[in-house]
């Protein structure tokens, strides 16, 4: 019997835990927080995930997530265009979704150590020794699902962590009159802001900005008034919405650099494996799909003596790159059209005047149904 330890109980970690535990495999998830809690996230999931989630009875229909099939793009000037999203998606908060998946993982038999930090992971003699703030534990496989940026990245001396990222992510939940079927992407100087509805008539507002914008002003609110309000659509939202958080959720140094998929034999999943720029929020769909791929390979490793660790790692790297490398590259290219006044106007004019091209670009940020 193999033991699997998952570092991080986000979307990738929870989906992996459910799949593995339902196969009777011993799974331990170490998460530094206690459910439910908020995360900085676009909170939009592409419909490419629906057949898979339905097959596992994990589609969170009971929470009535918003159904989204239109995309609004706005330039810094406020000039905007609305495009159909052929595939579309749904909106649900991580506060609700992660807690829902946590309960499903527990039902499947996964063990959780919450409010626990992983302090060190070492690999020797085909086994892992994991030191945590609770105690030391041993495992045959370790899955790194610890999110965008973690102490584990520093501990492993991962290459992307050596290069400082200029991006800061900020999230709010609002009560406003945002259309229920629309995801909006609003440009402002040095960044862009995504808006879409989630459950209970709430709207998620999550934006990415350059750290220089934050450093220049006394506080986040002053920065928003000076920078985000350059886009009149965002100014209207901020002045008229009812903000539901006492203070925003913030994460610093979000990196879109290439990340290693296997590090010291730890199998990386979700944002720990690589982030797509948050255009249409497809990081959530990628995390779900990658967890499916990884879990199926881990099951094979557990069940087939002839399937070696080396084969497991090589197969995972190959399948991850095949499914996601192109999408991440496309996201990086599209990101260049946002956060700059001239480029954002070009992007909006493209959306208005060459709609087939704009639709191809948007389709490239979504994946295939799985």
Following DSSP, what letter does each residue of 316-335 receive, concatenated? HHHHHIIIIIHHHHHHHHHH
pLDDT in tens, 62-82: 999 999 999 898 888 998 888
Is there a domain that residue 231 lies in?
no
Tell me the pLDDT tens digit for each residue of 209-257: 988 888 999 899 999 999 999 999 999 999 999 999 999 999 988 877 7
**Residue 244, exposed/middle/buried by CB under 10 A (0-12, 13-18, 19+)?**
exposed
Residue 186, token pair as written in the block: 């609003």
What 3-state DSSP class applies to 99? helix
Locus of tokens 């002045």? 239
Cα 307–chain centre separation: 30
Q: How many CA atoms lie within 13 A of 199 on its CB side?
A: 12
- Structural domains of the chain, count: 1
What CATH number is attached to the domain comprising 310? 3.50.50.60
pLDDT tops 60 at residue 96: yes
The reply to whether 355 falls in a domain is no
Using alpha carbons, list the distances in angstroms from residue 80 to 85, 196, 274.
16, 16, 30
Residue 216: per-residue pLDDT:
93
Whether residue 145 lies inside any domain: the answer is: yes
Query: Is 241 among the domain residues?
Result: no
Let me know if residue 24 belongs to a domain.
yes
Burial class (CB in 10 A: 0-12, 13-18, 19+), 278: buried
Does a structural domain hold residue 110? yes
Answer yes or no: is pLDDT of 353 > 90.
Answer: no
d(CA 150, CA 138): 21
Establish if 77 belongs to a structural domain.
no
pLDDT at 258: 82
Q: What is the DSSP string of 6-40?
A: EE--SHHHHHHHHHHHHTT-EEEEE-SS-SS---S
pLDDT at 280: 47
Residue ranges in 199-282 assigned as alpha helix (H): 211-215, 220-226, 232-240
pLDDT, tens only, 192-201:
899 999 999 9
Residue 192 lies in a domain: no
Mean pLDDT for the stretch of residues 43-60? 96
192-226 core/surface letters (b: 16 or more CB in 10 A; e: else): bbbbbbbbeebbbbbbbbbeebbeeeeebeebbee
> Which residue segment(s) compose the domain that 147 sits in?
3-37+90-164+254-337
Contact 66, 91 (CB under 8 A): yes
Distance from C-alpha of 184 to C-alpha of 124, rounded to nearest angstrom:
49
């Amino acid at each position: 019997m193999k033991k699997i330890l998952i570092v991080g109980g986000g979307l990738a970690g929870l989906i992996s835990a459910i799949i593995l535990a339902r196969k009777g495999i011993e799974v331990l998830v170490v998460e530094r927080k206690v459910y439910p809690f908020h995360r900085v996230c676009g909170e939009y999931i592409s419909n490419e995930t629906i057949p898979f989630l339905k097959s596992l009875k994990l589609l969170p229909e009971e929470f009535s997530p918003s159904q989204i099939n239109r995309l609004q793009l706005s330039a810094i000037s406020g000039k905007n265009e609305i495009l159909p999203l052929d595939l579309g998606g749904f909106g649900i908060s991580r506060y609700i979704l992660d807690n829902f998946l946590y309960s499903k993982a527990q039902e499947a038999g996964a063990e959780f150590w919450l409010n626990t930090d992983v302090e060190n992971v070492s690999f020797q003699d085909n086994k892992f020794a994991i030191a945590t703030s609770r105690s030391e534990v041993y495992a045959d496989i370790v899955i790194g699902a610890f999110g965008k940026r973690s102490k584990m990245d520093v501990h492993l001396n991962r290459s992307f962590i050596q290069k400082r990222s200029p991006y800061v992510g900020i999230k709010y939940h609002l009560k406003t009159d945002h259309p229920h079927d629309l995801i909006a992407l609003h440009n402002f100087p040095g960044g862009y802001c995504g808006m879409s509805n989630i459950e209970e008539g709430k709207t998620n507002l999550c934006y990415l900005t350059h750290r220089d914008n934050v450093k220049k002003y006394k506080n986040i609110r002053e920065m928003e008034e000076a920078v985000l309000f350059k886009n009149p659509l965002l100014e209207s939202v901020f002045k008229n919405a009812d903000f539901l958080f006492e203070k925003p959720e913030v994460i610093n140094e979000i990196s879109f650099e290439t990340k290693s998929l296997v590090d010291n034999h730890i199998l990386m999943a979700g944002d720990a494996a690589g982030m797509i720029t948050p255009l249409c929020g497809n990081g959530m769909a990628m995390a779900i799909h990658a967890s499916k791929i990884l879990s199926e390979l881990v099951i094979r490793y557990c069940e087939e003596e002839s399937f070696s660790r080396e084969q497991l790692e090589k197969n995972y790297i190959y399948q991850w790159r095949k499914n996601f490398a192109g999408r991440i590259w496309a996201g990086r290219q599209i990101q260049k059209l946002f956060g700059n006044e001239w480029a954002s106007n070009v992007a909006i004019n493209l959306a208005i005047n060459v709609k087939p091209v704009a639709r191809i670009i948007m389709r490239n940020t979504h994946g295939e149904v799985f």
